[in-house]
Amino acid sequence: MLWEGERPADNAAAAECFADLYDRYMDTEEPVVPPADRITAFVAALLERWPDPTENDDEDSPWSAGTLIGAACGPLIYFSMSWSMAEEASAHAAEVASSLGLNCFDPRARQLRP
């Protein structure tokens, strides 16, 4: 999960922010909010390295569902990865997020990255 905004003070604050953003943007009946510019840039950077799963039959993409931009809403994106490529893809995603000034949070580990 990545989002725009001030970096949370610690992992507990990040988990709270994640839950709030998820509830507001992903778990709602409200109309979909177009992705923010930095979120769109983030997705474009990931797709430069690995293809969107909807555009690739070779299964060499770490993204487990497509389209990747379809996992974005407003200031955040929440997407899943295949287990076989998760370590490499999550490290790359965290680097790209950092370069764009986005917060990167691993909800399974309940911690901020990097």
Least confident segment among 11-15, 33-37, 79-83: 79-83
Inter-CA distances, 90 with 11, 28, 30, 79, 100, Å: 17, 26, 29, 11, 15
Place of tokens 């840039």: 41
- Tokens 């691993």 found at: 106
Residue 45: which pLDDT band, with cuts at 50, 70 and 90? very high
Distance CA 23, CA 55 (A): 29
Mean of per-residue pLDDT scores for the chain: 90
CA distance linking residue 103 with residue 101, whole number of Å: 7
Which structural domain, as residue segments, surrounds residue 71?
Answer: 2-113
- The total number of structural domains that make up the chain: 1
Percent of the chain with pLDDT over 90: 62
